[in-house]
Amino acid sequence: CDFLSSEEETASVFSPSSLRLAACDLQQLMTTFSHVYEMDFRAFCNRTPPGFTTEAKVFQRVHQQLQACNTELEMLLEVSEASAAVSEEVKQLQTQPRYWSRGEKRPLPDQLEEITQRVGNSFSQFGSWS
């Protein structure tokens, strides 16, 4: 199960990574046993081939659900990283001075304040004309 190689190990016996490992090991053991039985032992046995119970399929379904959960967690991590990058960009826009249309270097909040004052002054002048 190569998807386990990138995850940190936890101490809990029932941690998601431990359960994934157990489910993956069980699936590999069942596959290996079936192959060895068909290739080496079937000719020597007079018994019918062993059948796996429905409980074995439960492990396979649990394994698939855990993989889907991992995929969703990876997507959430990517969203969190993108959100952090956007937050950092916004922070830089608010704090780092930049050149604006009049050639002045100021941070965004100062520029917005000046624009607000100019618009307010324009409206007050417009109101005094009427």
Where exactly are the structural domains of the chain?
2-95, 99-130
User: Residues 86-115: pLDDT tens digits?
Assistant: 998 888 888 888 777 777 888 888 888 888
CB contact at 8 A, 59 and 30: no
pLDDT in tens, 9-55: 444 556 777 777 778 888 888 888 888 888 887 777 777 766 777 77
Give the per-residue pLDDT at 75: 92
Query: b/e string for 11-44 if b means 16 or more Cβ within 10 A?
Result: eeeeeebebbeebbeeeeeeeeeeeeeeeeeeee
Please give the pLDDT value at position 129.
63
pTM (predicted TM-score): 0.41
d(CA 81, CA 8): 19
